[in-house]
Amino acid sequence: MTTDSSQSRQLSHDSGFARPATVTSLRSPVDFYATLTRVIDALKQHGMTIFADIDQSAAAASAGTSLRPTRLVLFGNPKGGTPVMAANPHAGLELPLKVMVWAASADDVRVDYLNPGPSLSALYGVDSAQVAGFGGVVKLLEAALAA
């Protein structure tokens, strides 16, 4: 890891791209579409609502440019998010939660996310007890890739 002094962040270059230390990047053992399916299925099976599945590479193509396969999935559960937004309305900028599935290369598919609990506590002063349940999202994503 290196420090980017202009932003005072720890950066990791494990995928060949700079990544802030607050972003977790998991390497998938399967191809892009199988990874996307695993992630979405795991979220749904654990009661999450999929609010959007944004195909960022298709959006790039529609603008006449190209982008590696990249999908941004917005998801959540109002039972968890509503109390957080009630505690601090600004936290709604972080909700619903997001996970990005992208291909760094043909044989390097990544699943990236922010660990929501610590982020919500640190950024918005939301009590850690209110965001404790968000830790399950991390375990869920890790399990989806291990399956």
* DSSP for 81-106, written as a single string: HHHHHHH-GGGGGG-SEEEEEEEEET
Q: How many domains does the chain have?
A: 1
Among the residue ranges 51-65, 74-88, 114-128, the one predicted with the least confidence is 114-128
Residue 11 included in any domain: no
Q: Which of 17-31, 35-49, 98-112 has the lowest mean pLDDT?
A: 17-31
pLDDT at 131 over 90: no
Contact 81, 90 (CB under 8 A): no
Q: What is the pLDDT of residue 135?
A: 83
Residue at 110 is within a domain: yes
Return the pLDDT at 3. 38
Q: Does residue 114 belong to any structural domain of this protein?
A: yes
CA nearest to 111, candidates 62, 60, 43, 9: 43
Sheet order of strands, 9-12 included = 2-4, 9-12, 19-20
Residue 20 makes CB contacts below 8 A (sequence gap 6+) with: 7, 9, 10, 11
CATH number at residue 95: 3.30.310.70
Range of the structural domain that residue 104 is part of: 23-146
φ, ψ at 97 (rounded to 5°)? -70, 160
pLDDT at 5 over 50: no
pLDDT higher than 80, residue 12: no
